[in-house]
Structure 1
Amino acid sequence: MKRKDFLTKVIIGLGGIAGLATILGSRSKDDGGMISEDCALSPKETKGPFPNKTPSEYVRENIIGDRKGIALRINLRILDKNKNCRPMSNALVDVWHCDSHGKYSEYGNNWLQSEDLTKAHFLRGRHTSDADGKVSFISIFPGYYPGRAPHIHLEVLNGEKKSLLVTQIAFPEDICDTVYSTESYKGSNYVSNARDGIFRDSLDDNMVDSITGNIKEGYTLLKTIMVKA
């Protein structure tokens, strides 16, 4: 079975996700604009209260699980400042984010998240960067939870599994408002990027390089991550 046909059947089986054609086709599109011109290191940020617990067990491109929402292809490029900002191959890239209602898998039964999702593992994954430093995940547009602006967490590790950077990705608020008006989400009552405690001093560097698409066909996110390997 062809890879694209396989992914099509996987995502259709999960149900509720929009934009299948856009998400599956976006990988081959031009990734122009992903290389950083100023070669500045990406900002270091907290892992947050819901980090990956066993990322080596979730080596996969499709991280949706059973969640519903607007399709999102996460396209990342890892560059190494210590090598003249050239692409870093074989980097381990971990990502994690909440679902459309602000819930994280692998956690629950506490004051931060009352729902018990300790046995679920959705919206978490690990992938290895290719020769061009690129890595990609099939996901849904993240929701938000009280006190935070919408965001995605990620960590970059070298081949020896040494952590090189933990950071977060921010989203344009007009895109968030459009997505959050759809059925699977809970409206636009999130903290603004400017008032977010993580992003207020580094928003320009946390913001996606670009995001294209729409709520019918899904979105594609591009972001360059600069590390010191």
Structure 2
Amino acid sequence: MERKSFLKSLLLGTIATPVVLSACDKEADTVTPTTNTSGTGADTTTGTDSGTCTVAPSETEGPFPTKSPASYVRSDITDGRTGYKLTAKITIGNINNSCAGLANAIVDIWHCDADGNYSEYGGSGMQSTNLQAVHFLRGRQVTDANGLVTFTTIFPGWYNGRATHMHVHIYNASGTSLKVTQIAFPEGSNSAVAAVNGYKKGLNGYTYNAKDNVFSDDSAGVEIATVTGDTTNGFKLAIKLNVAA
């Protein structure tokens, strides 16, 4: 299928939407992770990894997945939400092709705003702020020939029980789900997490990666992206997520 026709089909919502899961914890995963590049480093044009060909760990997409992801084919997902600018470069690799970039993969991302709230949800005990009528910080892109998608967004905030993170759902060109995973952020005194300092909330009560129920078993840092930049000029995130396609 030509790229123009494929993108048109996404806009029309012909790709099936994902199933909503009930919790924001870790799913069972049989993949043994290996080391992933993380922390502060030079800016890159694609996502980064350690050079090994390892499948990204599987994680839950709940409890706040995008309800109609095919409706949000866009690279700028800010949608009026305020916060420090974040440019996210995510590369999808295919382990069945020596982790070469996977072209025409569909990549959905979503994350909370600076206050720790998700669009499309709220008015309940899990999120008291009702944001059901808005759709910020959610988007879908199709990978280029190098397996790369780029999103313009804001640096995520945090909420109780979770470290700073982003959700990712990857499909093949036919709309078959290949992987649901999450992206963690480097931590420490010189990290972007420390620089943002939880926006208005600070980091008092923050759950760090080592205690997070999704990332706590990621001792090799496979899910931790490279994040560079500052609060004045904005931040840049890069990561490579490998799937079996």
Shared fold, TM over 0.5: yes
Report if aligned partners of 1:148, 1:191 keep a CA contact under 8 Å in 2.
Answer: yes
Q: 1:195 to 1:217 in 2, by over 3 A?
A: same
> Alignment partner of 2:84: what SS?
strand
1:187 corresponds to 2:202: yes
CA distance in 1, matches of 2:214, 2:91: 22
The equivalent residue for 1:207 is: 224
Alignment: residue pair count: 198
Q: 1:32 to 1:163 in 2, by over 3 A?
A: closer
In structure 1, give the amino acid aligned to 2:91. R
Cα displacement string for residues 5-37 of structure 1 (whole angstroms, at most 9, x for unaligned residues): xxxxxxxxxxxxxxxxxxxxxxxx743772551
Q: 1:116 to 1:166 in 2, by over 3 A?
A: same
CA distance in 1, matches of 2:148, 2:49: 11
Please show how residues 128-143 of structure 1 align to structure 2 within 5 Å: 128-143=142-157
CA distance in 1, matches of 2:105, 2:158: 28
* Structure 2: gaps of 5 or more residues: 1-42
> Alignment partner of 1:185: what SS?
helix
Moved over 2 A (4+): 29-36
Report if aligned partners of 2:167, 2:181 keep a CA contact under 8 Å in 1.
Answer: yes
Q: 1:185 to 1:223 in 2, by over 3 A?
A: farther
Q: TM-score scaled by structure 1?
A: 0.83
Measured on the aligned residues, the alpha-carbon RMSD in Å equals 1.5
> Alignment partner of 1:173: what SS?
coil
CA distance in 1, matches of 2:47, 2:129: 40
> Alignment partner of 2:222: what SS?
helix
**Higher helix content, 1 or 2:** 1
Match of 2:193 among 168, 172, 176: 176
The equivalent residue for 2:71 is: 57
Q: 1:192 to 1:121 in 2, by over 3 A?
A: same
Q: TM-score scaled by structure 2?
A: 0.78
* Structure 1: gaps of 5 or more residues: 1-28
Cα displacement string for residues 130-183 of structure 1 (whole angstroms, at most 9, x for unaligned residues): 0000000000000011110110000100111111000001111232121126xx
In structure 1, give the amino acid aligned to 2:101. P
1:162 corresponds to 2:176: yes
Q: Which is worse superposed, 213-222 or 167-176?
A: 167-176
Q: 1:123 to 1:33 in 2, by over 3 A?
A: closer
Please show how residues 38-117 of structure 1 align to structure 2 within 5 Å: 38-117=52-131
Alpha-carbon distance, 1:48 to partner:
2.2
Q: 1:32 to 1:109 in 2, by over 3 A?
A: closer
CA distance in 2, matches of 1:123, 1:32: 21
Identity between Structure 1 and Structure 2 (%) = 44
Match of 2:45 among 21, 26, 31: 31
In structure 2, give the amino acid aligned to 1:188. L
CA distance in 2, matches of 1:199, 1:144: 14
In structure 2, give the amino acid aligned to 1:102. G
Report if aligned partners of 2:78, 2:153 keep a CA contact under 8 Å in 1.
Answer: yes
Q: 1:33 to 1:107 in 2, by over 3 A?
A: closer
